[in-house]
Amino acid sequence: MKNRLESAFLTYFNRKDGQSFFSPGRVNLIGEHIDYNGGSVFPCALSYGTDGIAALRDDDMVCVYSKSFSKDIDCFSIKDLVKENRWSDYIKGSIKALLDHGYQIDHGIDLYIEGTMPLGAGLSSSASIEILVIYIFNTFYKFNLSKETMAKLGQYAENKFVLVNSGIMDQFAVVAGRKDHALLLNTHTLEHEYIPVHLGDYQLLIANTNKKRGLADSKYNERYQECQTALHLLKDDYKITYLCQLDHQQLDHIENKLNPTLFKRVKHVVSEQHRTLLTKEALSQGDIKTFADLLCESHQSLKHDYEVTGVELDTLQEALMTSGALGARMTGAGFGGCVVAVVHKDQLDHMKTSVDDIYQKKIGYPPTFYEVNITDGTSHL
């Protein structure tokens, strides 16, 4: 891969002095829609992500070519970072985050990037690019940024420049990932621990619905507001500041305090937090079957209580289970995007053929499959 990047850098920038980097994507194994409710999530960094090669320039320009997005080299000054609703906003936002937090940057870079993951599928291609750029400037300028600081800068870029209200999970998982481990991350405190994920004869398989995203943002905001309303109604009686402070055993007692819709939302949040902690215990003990069962329970909760799946995700999840997956659930915001499944390695080829057939017959177009491994966070190659 390094030789390929060096060859591309020579082609587009006529330079041989580039340094190569890799920034992974991420998948959240379990713990969906609880990050904005003060809960713990369970992401891991993926072997699919963003490859990049860069070198410092003598001026203040940043010149970028992306194999995925560019027709020509895109150049802008670090002194004139203007949002244009283009892919390069993620790069501009990352530089702006560094500048806004007092890190001095005098020279720009030449940067070539290419991605190996599907865009818009909920695998954090945006966070992958943001952390890649911050990591590159950290390397060149020797800022000695911690992983937590880089994650916060990436989130700042997304929230304040790109203007997407994401939590910190994506950037944290991208920069702090560890090979063959998932991160149990408390999104409220940023306390985290690494949990080993040794699947043995099983493989993580990500299946992309290939549905064009449309409803996710509006429904995300709707669910957020519903959770805030429920919290307002419950916080005084239960002395809580966020919903994930509720214990799953308290659900029976709060049902009569909320209307049916709000109760279903709270039921998902509280039970999903419980499933996330049970997943930590299962994987710590190498119990793949319990982990897989919890994935299925999570999907049913997202389908019936949080109502964020939709026909494409449900069809794909059901097809995976019918075709022999040990466990599967939607991952990401919902209404499109991906399903993450645990599949026996001997069944992978059969599984893809079977699921493709079932999905196409019902939905009308094929899914895409990615056999993924859990890898380290953003790194200098």
Q: Distance between CA atoms of 355 and 369, rounded to whole angstroms?
A: 10
- Cα–Cα distance measured from residue 213 to residue 347, given in angstroms and rounded to the nearest whole number: 30
Residue 307, SS3?
coil
Alpha-carbon torsion (343, 347, 353, 358), positive or negative? negative
Who's near 350: CB < 8 A, 6+ residues apart? 323, 324
d(CA 378, CA 381): 10
Q: The sheet that has 61-66: what strands, in order across it? A: 74-77, 61-66, 109-115, 43-56, 19-28, 379-380
CB 217 within 8 A of CB 206: no
Catalytic residue among 89, 170, 305, 314: 170
Residue 192: how many CB atoms within 10 A of its CB?
Answer: 18
Tokens in use for 312?
């494409």
Q: Is 170 a catalytic residue?
A: yes
Question: Which sequence positions are flagged as catalytic?
Answer: 170
